[in-house]
A = this chain, B = another copy of it.
Amino acid sequence: MRTYFDCIPCMLRQALDAVRLVTDDEATHEQVLRDLLRAASEMDLGQSPPAMGQHIHRRIRQLTGNDDPYKSIKKHSNRLALKLYPELKCNVEQSGDPLQTAARLAIAGNVIDFGVNSHLDDSYVRDTVEQSLSAQMDADALKEFREAIYEAKDILYLGDNAGEVVFDRLLIEQMPRRKVTFVVRGAPTINDATMADAVVTGLRDLVEVIDNGSDAPGTILEDCSPAFKKRFDAADLIVAKGQGNYETLSDVPKDIFFLLKAKCPVIASHIGCEVGSFVLRRRNGAAVAVRGGENIARV
């Protein structure tokens, strides 16, 4: 997905939110802002939004001398999600359709996104979990996902954020584990999950975990390591979590299921759903949808 004009003001706002989270120094805020304005004035809009996200967050880390500014936020998100885990696990196991319930929860977990919303609080995460569980689901919606998981030999599950990985764990526990490899970012960027988050949330005890060698908040293939690209090419099914992975992979010719919460109008419009929708979408496949409450997803 390319960068739309409307992404630019939004990125600027996000960059301001981000740098304020990292430092109170107004001179640094201004440096980040001016640098980003200059970069954006010349940017190739054919690139996906995470390319600019990568630039912004590299610059913030560089200017603040802080390699991992979201470290404590990630820690908090992991802790919150792990606290919810036993109850969510119970939900999954006691439901008539554990894979469906786990998929709903994995999508709900995508709300833990400090790139989009730097003011996220715990109660919003809990509310989103509730919403995802009570959302109506099209009977056909999950069918393709279920079949694809059954038929695949090599599933690459691309994670998104810290905290969210606990919700991914619930879904991966419903898949044949030997088939699944979980992927984290190669280095810290926003609150995206890295290897440390996979370890602390127990995901690495469950399945193989690799990193993609990149610090982009998405999966920009040309920026990933050769080792990751080899695994990506070899996989016969990709499960891609979150907006960043959608933005960077929506045009890649692979069998990909995108699971995400559509948090911005540009992505919602690109997908063809309402903002706030819980989305399960196959690339080039038939449309599948989770509908729920105020958030109607028809993708």
Contacts and interface: CB of A to CB of B under 8 A. Distances in A.
Interface in A1-44: 5-6, 8-10, 12-13, 16, 29-30, 33-35, 37-38, 40-42
A42 B12 CA distance: 15
Main secondary structure of the interface of A (DSSP, over half): helix
A148 interface: no
A5 B31 CA distance: 11
Please provide the 5 A-B residue pairs with the shortest distance between their CB atoms, ordered closest to farther. A37-B41, A9-B12, A9-B13, A38-B41, A9-B9
Count this chain's copies in the assembly.
2
22 contacts: A5-B16, A5-B29, A5-B33, A6-B13, A6-B16, A8-B33, A8-B37, A9-B9, A9-B10, A9-B12, A9-B13, A9-B16, A12-B12, A30-B45, A34-B41, A34-B42, A35-B41, A37-B38, A37-B40, A37-B41, A38-B38, A41-B41
From A5, A40, A42, A45, name the one whose CB has the most chain B CB atoms within 10 angstroms. A5
Given A9-B12, A37-B37, 19 more contacts: A5-B29, A5-B30, A5-B33, A6-B16, A8-B12, A8-B33, A9-B9, A9-B10, A9-B13, A9-B16, A12-B12, A30-B45, A34-B41, A34-B42, A35-B41, A37-B38, A37-B40, A38-B38, A38-B41
